[in-house]
Amino acid sequence: MNNDESLQLENQLCFRLYSLTKLMNRHYSPVLKKLGLTYSQYIVMLVLWENNNTNSAISVKHLGVKLDLDSGTLSPLLKRLEKQGLISRLRNSEDERSVEIKLTRSGCQLKAQAQDIPAQMFSVTGMSIDDLQGLNNQLDNLLVTMNTK
């Protein structure tokens, strides 16, 4: 690839990822709307559902690290989820500065309604399971590589 080609939009990895993110969000949006969730709220709920297997609360700090979201982004999301009755926010009894998040009964029940979402999104990709797993592995490797630089 010569210098001129390297500056063409279609040769930019960042643009492909940006376009793909927009498309994925466009496909997720109507599905999540039925659950009353935005995509950002959905990924928060995914972490909480995963964590709920241990029936324990998760700190806002840990949630932020897991999702790579700062507290300025995460706090309004959590307030909306709390207002919807899906989570409760509690001060840590050992450290008043720390806030912990726990699913409410409604938040737990919402998981059953979300069960089909991954399959719906998989069908939109038109990829085989092996290809999708391979892509996920490549993206994971890219994340690790870029996070260490």
Give the side-chain half-sphere CA count within 13 A for 27.
14
Residues 119-147 have a mean pLDDT of: 95
* Structure confidence by residue, pLDDT tens digits, 57-110: 899 999 999 999 998 999 999 999 999 999 999 887 777 778 899 999 999 999
**CA–CA separation, 131 vs 17, rounded Å?**
17
CA nearest to 127, candidates 20, 14, 18, 15: 20
Residues 123-138 have a mean pLDDT of: 96
Indicate the DSSP class of residue 10.
Answer: G
How far CA 57 is from CA of 64, 66, 86, in Å, comes to 14, 14, 13
Q: Quote the pLDDT of residue 39.
A: 95
Q: Quote the pLDDT of residue 138.
A: 97
Record the tokens describing residue 94, joined without a space. Answer: 């050992």
> For the whole model, what pTM was predicted?
0.89
* Structure confidence by residue, pLDDT tens digits, 36-56: 999 999 999 999 999 887 668
Domains in the chain, start-ordered, CATH in brackets?
Answer: 12-108 (1.10.10.10)
Q: Quote the pLDDT of residue 54.
A: 63
Q: Quote the pLDDT of residue 103.
A: 95
